[in-house]
Amino acid sequence: MSTVLPILLFGLAGALLGGVISLRRQGAGTGAVVLTAGLALLATVGGLLWLLGGDR
């Protein structure tokens, strides 16, 4: 599971980033865009921290 989770988090971050782009193109409200971008950032940071924390 420890090798799969970062990949899933990065995949989730990519999907959320695509959602941010789509929301912007559709003219969605700023709150929805910022929330989705924040979730994408959290997923990316989570994946990075999981990889860096690796074998500790």
Confidence of residue 56 (pLDDT cuts 50, 70, 90): low
How far is residue 26's CA from residue 53's CA, in Å, rounded to a whole number? 38
Can you give the pLDDT at residue 43? 97
Give tens-digit pLDDT for 21-36.
999 999 999 999 999 9
Confidence of residue 53 (pLDDT cuts 50, 70, 90): confident
Can you give the pLDDT at residue 9? 95
In degrees and rounded to multiples of 5, residue 5 shows phi and psi of -60, -45
pLDDT at 54 over 80: no
Domains in the chain: boundaries: 4-53
